[in-house]
Structure 1
Amino acid sequence: MHIRGQVIFGVFAAVSHVLGYEVKTPPLDTEWTYKVGTNPWPEYPRPLLQRPQWQNLNGIWKYRRAAAAEASMAPMNESFANAADVLVPSCLESGLSGVQDINVTHAWLTRDFTVPRDWARTGRRLMLNFEAVDYEATVFVNGRKAGFHRGGYWHFNFDVTDFVKTNGTNKLHVFVFDPTDSMGYNMPMGKQRTNPSHIFYRSCTGIWQTVWMESVPQNYIQKLDISADMDGKVKMQVATSGGNDTLSISVVGEEGVSIKSHEASTNGLIEFVVDSPKLWSPDSPNLYNLSIKLGDDEVTSYTGFRTVSSGEVNGIKRPLINGKFFFHFGTLDQGYWPDGLHTPPSREAMVYDLEVLKSLGLNMVRKHIKVEPALFYQACDQMGLLVIQDMPAMVDGDRKPDAAQQAEFERQYEIMIEQHKSYPSIYTWVVYNEGWGQITQGYYPEFDLTARTKEMDPTRLVDSTSGWNDHGAGDFHDNHHYANPQCGSPFYSILSTPHDPKRIAIQGEFGGIGHNVSAENLWKVEQAINQINQTYEIDTDLEAYNYRGHLLLTELKEQIERYACSGAVWTQTTDVEGEVNGFLTYDRRILRLKVDQWKADIQALYDAAQGRTGQYKGQKGLHGLGDICLFIYYEHDVYDQF
């Protein structure tokens, strides 16, 4: 079955060619590919700490490859007039970048910018923000080094007040180093590979999320950590650029009315209670806006009141939201795009995937060894989609990390938690996936990492080892098995371990049934096409695909009824390169599902879980989307709606 409309290609490319930039034809495009334009991602990129004064630096930059020795000095005397135009944000290897340059290791990216006149006031500071650069970034402003950052998934910023001219043009240079999986390197990189193969994909190099500036006062709010529980208790920590000062906090309810005001010192933990808040859950994703003032600085944020925990229900260890057992069912969500690779073409495109999942009745996504832009997690908060957040893995196989590489992995793991622990939708952290980069001789680092996670963030669960090398750490016993589930059951297979009743049983990956499509909807890279037959199971037509889906979900339902299964992750949201086992094809144009069948089978999972507990009624996956509905049609013009 096909979804959405047909696309008229090349319209924007003809316009953008005049500007010197145009989309390079990717191996596969999407409906959004030629709609991106030269002002991509115009949205404010940081919804949990938002200010009114900001300037987006996305758009057309200049790019050239570089040598390692160039990192120490910006090429101020070099004209980039003949360098390639590149779209920021994008992966240099992607079609959307306009260069589609494969396996870049060192690169320069540069642009000019001006500072708004009203920002050039005494006592104001100018912050230069990067949402993500893969992998290392050395930043120069007007030839002076502003700072250095390592880690391809994390946001960072520099105070560039003393480097900029407020009455003229400034030059910004970013030197990028990205070794990916080169020998001698083992770093958090997820599924990126310089030589992709089936479940490993084309790498991403460069500035792949938004770049922007903001004006702040001398003493300003640098960071907010917020948690709010089912009893209305709010805990907040605020990092500022100055010393101890007084904060004014307002919690805003419906129609913009303040329902709670609180004053506190910036020094230490801030605690207060909101009476009888509407709780956040997948069924009712209620959010409250926040306003925080510190002297001349005022930011807005939001939170949701919810408590995630584990506990025994009728003798079985269960995950709890707001004190009640919930069965969580979702997809392995890899977040790759054929035109943008790591970077979705737009927020609309990114959210479309989530809308499809929510409309089918799913209540969760497992964000698989990748970290998304902040607007992804905001959308999950708003829609009521739970998120299992994986740490991006190191190299799989025999290339285990040395002491320095392990320390760097752990440093970046802590950054992931620090930067994402205020999103209500995230309810579980994953340390290791299927043993990739996991040390298993001498000691088991997941025990220490789990303890550190609980210390840093006691409000969530930890899936220490999703699949394979499970030594007993964390809140979950997580089984991976294709295609059939083995969830909390008295049977298991090689590489898995027997169910541990002291922990929550989850089927961390299963399904994976595939269905090949015509070349029109495939990633047109010969190696990827040749490896399609490595898919766990190939069904020759959609009738067989949907029959197998029904059979596997029925099997899962029976394991919920008989055993200790508390959640499951179906592989996967979309096809990716040589993998053809998504609900959606890689270009998002075909949905393989018989919608009514799958919605009924998914609801049956929740009903089975409810039947095991008798605790409460009415768990559903389809809530919180208002009037959103998506239309699909079969090849024989039989229409359906969901």
Structure 2
Amino acid sequence: MRNMIYKARQKTGLVRHLFLFVSLASTSAVVAQPPPVNQPRPAPIMSRWEKQVTADNAWREYPRPQMARQQWQNLNGMWDYAITSKTAPAPTTYQGQILVPFAVESTLSKVTKSLTADQRLWYRKAISIPKEWGGQRVLVHFGAVDYECNLWVNGGLAGSHTGGSDSFSFDVTDFLKEGKNELVLGVLDPTSSGEQPRGKQLMNPQSIWYTPVSGIWQTVWLEPVPRQTYIEEVRLTPELDSGRVRVEALLDKPANNYTTAIRITALDGSQTVATTLVRAGRTAYLPISNPKLWSPDSPFLYNYKVELVTITDPFGDTPRNRRPRQDEALRTAYANATVTGTPLDAVTGYFAMRKISVGPGPVPNQPVLLLNNKFVFQNGPLDQGWWPAGLLTPPSEEGMAFEIDFLKKSGFNMLRKHIKVEPERYYYLCDKMGILVWQDMPSGFLEGQNESPGDQSEPIRRSKGKEQFELELRRMMNRLHNHPSIVTWVVHNEGWGQYDNERLAAWVKALDPSRTVNAASGWNDRNAGDFYDIHTYQEEPNAPEPKKDRVVVIGEFGGIGWPIEGHLWNPAMRNWGYQTYHSADTVLAAYKKKYAKIVDYYQKQALSAAVYTQTTDVEGEVNGLLTYDREVIKIPIETLRQIHAPLFK
């Protein structure tokens, strides 16, 4: 019956997208009695970067470029693994080896097995702590583990974490001994039998839903930090109109004295442009004279250095109850204080001077997106970030850079990172190479916790589910706050687990007023956030209606499918697009037709942005500008650039 409805209405992109949504609903509706799990198979196609991955070269780059220290140890490589019942104790023998940081289902992991909700995945790794780290505390960092995990160090429980896209760390100092140490990590992952944020993972992947990802899927690493106290977090927020950058440097515990201070230095290359001292636990402001602005056309990055220092008490013997309380008096006193000795801790990173906002545009009463106080159309693809052999884990920095470079050369200045959080080095490349990012929050829901287009009310969610979604949303925002490329937070995608949309949009805006908020990309608008966002997969995209109080954008359109023999995930299945063609000429004609409407809406109706589906093919989807293995560019780069050029005049 669904097939008959689908064929009868295939001219309408909304119904076409809804059909795919219903496919998930019918799958998740039988969670109580799940069908047999499809075991993942080795990737039938691979990108050139995936073919180059080995245990010795898997993700060797420093994983946290926004807050770097000199000393660290990479733990990526071969670990022991085992899969047991989730009720079983830790194994005494292991089944083989797995290549970290690739998920157990992936080909690059060298395992390629499913993990079901009633199983636990175990990892084991022997480590040694360098002698030069003596006298310091040792942190173990995980870029991301999907979904719930516990870490034992030499048999002692060192920490637990829940959240599939979050970076986290444990202080393991007290568990360590001389010589060899044993790390054991146990992981549970309900995938689509739970309502946790998981993006497009489905136990039995189909249509727009992909192979699950379980366990470690981003870099694992060790870092020594000073024993007494250390810099745990640095938050930088450019305030372009004030010509300054706000800096919040936070220690691992409060400093309840007047002699612990933070010295902050901004640099243009190696040349100091501003420096100040501030009392630990207080906000600092660095003036940036004649700032060099960051944009996709000129992605200039300043460097910074934050040091934990000791100063002479700026108030001498003055009793505490007689010391100044005014912020300006405190700021002046500390800025003029004298540093004694050498820094106790130091981290380096970068920031940019850029502003994203909403303001008046060329059409009266229709606000537009402004970059550095100017209207700049945001043209980008829907970017899923999946790879045939690595799944959610990119194969290398070179592979990620290739995609961003392709998009830039093709006339895109933005991408929408679709319900996935990338490794931090991905956003570093976006910052460095210059591309705007709309960052989606990964969705998660079960049948009954979703909406359909046109629904007037939102399903209610359990407190437990809301608490976890909002915790992970806030973690994502905190972790990625410093990246200038990220200009928009997308709270909900379509009706996928959408709830309390107005409240969440206001909450996100309050947490980060320096960025715009897209409350709901597509489907059911709740008059929230900065955007009115429609999805339109018709052969000629529809225009969003004008809005006096919000920008208007097309958050998804396009979906031109072209299955190319020799580059398909599964040639035996239906490889689909929203409209499917079979030659370069018909694909190009369809693309020109769609973008002609986008240009028209931009020129006449002050459309602020458009998101084309999509960067690459993904498993059974063939909507990509690139094939899934990134080997075939379906429309030449220069042709794409010419088609997009009118959007930047």
TM-score (norm 1): 0.84
Question: Which letter does structure 1 place at the counterpart of 2:345?
Answer: D
**Contact preservation (8 Å) 1:488, 1:564:** no
The match for 1:309 is: 357
**Contact preservation (8 Å) 2:192, 2:446:** no
The match for 1:223 is: 233
**Distance (Å, rounded) in 1 between the aligned partners of 2:632 and 2:543:** 33
**Distance (Å, rounded) in 1 between the aligned partners of 2:74 and 2:403:** 25
User: Residues 24, 191 of structure 1: CA spacing in aligned structure 2 closer, same or farther, 3 A cutoff?
Assistant: closer
Q: Is the deviation greater in 198-207 or in 33-42?
A: 33-42
The match for 1:88 is: 100
Question: Which letter does structure 1 place at the counterpart of 2:302?
Answer: Y
The match for 1:537 is: 579
The match for 1:174 is: 185
Match of 1:450 among 505, 513, 518: 505
The match for 1:49 is: 67
**Contact preservation (8 Å) 1:193, 1:203:** yes
Question: Which letter does structure 2 place at the counterpart of 1:249?
Answer: I
The count of residues paired between Structure 1 and Structure 2 equals: 555
The match for 2:599 is: 557
The match for 1:419 is: 479
**Distance (Å, rounded) in 2 between the aligned partners of 1:34 and 1:560:** 42
Match of 2:563 among 516, 530, 536: 516
**Distance (Å, rounded) in 2 between the aligned partners of 1:127 and 1:373:** 19
Question: Which letter does structure 2 place at the counterpart of 1:222?
Answer: E
Structure 1 residue 485 displacement after superposition: 5.7
**Contact preservation (8 Å) 1:512, 1:581:** yes
The match for 1:16 is: none
Q: What is the correspondence of 1:85-124 to structure 2 with a 5 Å cutoff? A: 85-105=97-117, 106-121=120-135, 124=136
**Distance (Å, rounded) in 1 between the aligned partners of 2:408 and 2:608:** 19
The match for 1:629 is: none
**Contact preservation (8 Å) 1:251, 1:290:** yes
Structure 1 residue 161 displacement after superposition: 0.4
**Contact preservation (8 Å) 1:393, 1:433:** yes
Structure 1 residue 486 displacement after superposition: 4.7
**Contact preservation (8 Å) 2:537, 2:557:** yes
Question: Which letter does structure 1 place at the counterpart of 2:287?
Answer: V
The match for 1:197 is: 206
Structure 1 residue 103 displacement after superposition: 3.7
Residues 298-338 of structure 1: CA distance to partner in whole angstroms, max 9, x if unpaired?
10011000111101124220111111111000100000000
**Distance (Å, rounded) in 2 between the aligned partners of 1:361 and 1:329:** 8
Structure 1 residue 561 displacement after superposition: 1.8
User: Residues 27, 219 of structure 1: CA spacing in aligned structure 2 closer, same or farther, 3 A cutoff?
Assistant: same
**Distance (Å, rounded) in 1 between the aligned partners of 2:553 and 2:639:** 23
**Distance (Å, rounded) in 2 between the aligned partners of 1:396 and 1:474:** 25
Matched, 1:263 2:298: no
Q: Which ranges in structure 2 are unaligned for 5 or more consecutive residues? A: 1-39, 310-343, 451-460
Q: What is the correspondence of 1:293-332 to structure 2 with a 5 Å cutoff? A: 293-295=307-309, 296-314=344-362, 315=364, 316-332=366-382
The match for 2:441 is: 391
Question: Which letter does structure 1 place at the counterpart of 2:200?
Answer: K
User: Residues 224, 466 of structure 1: CA spacing in aligned structure 2 closer, same or farther, 3 A cutoff?
Assistant: same
The match for 1:356 is: 406
Question: Which letter does structure 1 place at the counterpart of 2:72?
Answer: W
Structure 1 residue 229 displacement after superposition: 2.8
Structure 1 residue 487 displacement after superposition: 6.1
Residues 522-578 of structure 1: CA distance to partner in whole angstroms, max 9, x if unpaired?
11375xx23x24x21001211100111111111111111221311100000000000
The match for 1:133 is: 145
Question: Which letter does structure 2 place at the counterpart of 1:372?
Answer: E
3-state SS, counterpart of residue 313 of structure 1: coil
**Contact preservation (8 Å) 1:329, 1:364:** yes
Matched, 1:158 2:205: no
**Distance (Å, rounded) in 2 between the aligned partners of 1:271 and 1:396:** 45
Q: What is the correspondence of 1:134-149 to structure 2 with a 5 Å cutoff? A: 134-149=146-161
The match for 2:51 is: 34
Match of 2:197 among 188, 192, 199: 188
The match for 1:479 is: 534
**Distance (Å, rounded) in 2 between the aligned partners of 1:484 and 1:419:** 39
**Distance (Å, rounded) in 2 between the aligned partners of 1:485 and 1:226:** 42
**Distance (Å, rounded) in 1 between the aligned partners of 2:172 and 2:571:** 43
User: Residues 508, 484 of structure 1: CA spacing in aligned structure 2 closer, same or farther, 3 A cutoff?
Assistant: farther
**Distance (Å, rounded) in 1 between the aligned partners of 2:596 and 2:379:** 14
Identity of paired residues, percent? 40
**Contact preservation (8 Å) 2:539, 2:579:** no
Match of 1:58 among 55, 68, 76: 76
Matched, 1:460 2:460: no
- Aligned-residue Cα RMSD (Å) equals 1.6
Match of 1:501 among 540, 543, 548: 548
Matched, 1:382 2:432: yes
Structure 1 residue 175 displacement after superposition: 0.3
**Contact preservation (8 Å) 2:151, 2:186:** yes
TM-score (norm 2): 0.83
The match for 1:214 is: 223
Structure 1 residue 258 displacement after superposition: 1.3
Q: Is the deviation greater in 25-34 or in 302-311?
A: 25-34
The match for 2:326 is: none
**Distance (Å, rounded) in 2 between the aligned partners of 1:512 and 1:310:** 28
**Contact preservation (8 Å) 2:275, 2:286:** no
**Distance (Å, rounded) in 1 between the aligned partners of 2:147 and 2:571:** 25
**Contact preservation (8 Å) 1:27, 1:525:** no
The match for 1:570 is: 612
Question: Which letter does structure 2 place at the counterpart of 1:356?
Answer: F
